Structure 1
Amino acid sequence: MKNSLTRVQPWFRTRFRQWLRQNPKSLRLLRRFRCFGTDTESMSRGLAVGLFFGLTPTVGFQTPLVLACCLMLRANFLIAFASTWISNPLTVAPLYLAFNWLGDSIIGPITLSESTTSSYPWLNLFLEEGLQMTIGSLVLAIPAAFLGYLLAKYWGPRISSSFPTAEKP
């Protein structure tokens, strides 16, 4: 596994640098908004953004939403993108079930009149399942993003300072 990663990493790095050379405006924009910043604040914000969108039912739209938020909040995009993988193909079904259960326990069942459900069946589906899932995910995503920010902000520098550094020749 390690050998395959060491072969792919230079290829990816070369392709990414080539893309940035071909798109200097994108590079300036990413540098201006510190999307690759390695300071503690930028990385903490990136973790918070990634955890928030990783714990909301936005699969399929996560990357554009994360990039937009990273530009607005001057957060580290790479950390945010990596932390959205908390909702990966193996965990998305249990997460969505938990979101739905939590939302159902908070707002309870929603019932519409018979005329409304016959006229707008999609509205009934959205209000019963989608609203409960959204409420449940926000109840988990907001505290997780906040805790992730605090952990990265205050304990991140302490952890990284305990790692040995390479000596310069």
Structure 2
Amino acid sequence: MPRKFIQRFLPDHNSVKANKSLRVFGTLLHDPNLWHLNRRSAKGAFGLGLFFAFWPVPFQMVLSAAAAIVLRVNLPLSIATVWITNPLTMPPIFYGAYLVGSTVLGTEMTNFHFELSWSWVIESINTIGPAFLLGCLICSVVAGAIGYFGLDGIWRWSVNKAWRTRRGEKPQA
């Protein structure tokens, strides 16, 4: 069942409550619905996490947590899913988002050399910024929708399979 599989990878709710960046939410973290794992909360949290994973901001976890609190979906799963984009996966994911954005805008891809400076960031906002930001928006919406509906389908399939097994039926392929 997906619940048992997902729960193996989720952090303990006490460790999430102790996270310094999430202390801004205070007593809102004590809502039991944020820690309950069922199909509704899991698919919502997974979709939210994937949606915010493609946002090129340093505080994706906090945004995902805030949305999870407002929508009352599983908080640890929402936060954990954001880490699809981590320091190792960010460059290829964000380059892919830039490719998507430049394809949709129909702009010619420009070669660029990354520099860790504010002047490069300001210059890049004018040159590759629109294609990159549009690509991030498209990828976040698509990934969030695929995550939401995909986990819902997997969860339903798993529950149906478990019921067929309990009744002694042959599993359908």
Q: Shared topology, TM-score over 0.5?
A: yes
Q: Please say if 1:75 is aligned against 2:57.
A: no
Give the counterpart letter for 1:46 in structure 2.
Answer: A
Aligned length: 139
Q: How does 1:9-88 map to 2 (within 5 A)?
A: 16=15, 26=26, 29-32=28-31, 34-58=33-57, 60-88=58-86
The aligned residue for residue 124 of structure 2 is: 125
Q: Deviations over 1:88-108 (max 9, x none)?
A: 222111111111122122222
The aligned residue for residue 6 of structure 1 is: none
Secondary structure at 1:75 match in 2: coil
The aligned residue for residue 167 of structure 2 is: none
Give 1 or 2 for the bigger CA radius of gyration: 1
Give the counterpart letter for 2:36 in structure 1.
Answer: G
- State the alpha-carbon separation in 1 of the partners of residues 39 and 123 from structure 2: 45
Q: Is the 8 A contact 1:53 1:62 kept in 2?
A: yes
Q: Deviations over 1:82-126 (max 9, x none)?
A: 1112112221111111111221222226xxxxxxxxxxx976531
TM-fit CA distance, 1:14:
9.8
Matched residues, percent identical? 22
Structure 1 unpaired stretches of 5+: 1-8, 110-120, 164-169
Q: Is the 8 A contact 2:17 2:29 kept in 1?
A: no
Residues 50/14 of structure 1: CA separation in 2 closer, same or farther (3 Å cut): closer
Q: Please say if 1:96 is aligned against 2:94.
A: yes
- State the alpha-carbon separation in 1 of the partners of residues 35 and 13 from structure 2: 17
Secondary structure at 1:34 match in 2: helix
Give the counterpart letter for 1:96 in structure 2.
Answer: F
TM-fit CA distance, 1:131:
2.1
Residues 30/126 of structure 1: CA separation in 2 closer, same or farther (3 Å cut): same
Higher helix share: 1
Structure 2 unpaired stretches of 5+: 1-8, 109-119, 163-173
TM-score normalised per structure 1: 0.66
- State the alpha-carbon separation in 2 of the partners of residues 85 and 16 from structure 1: 16
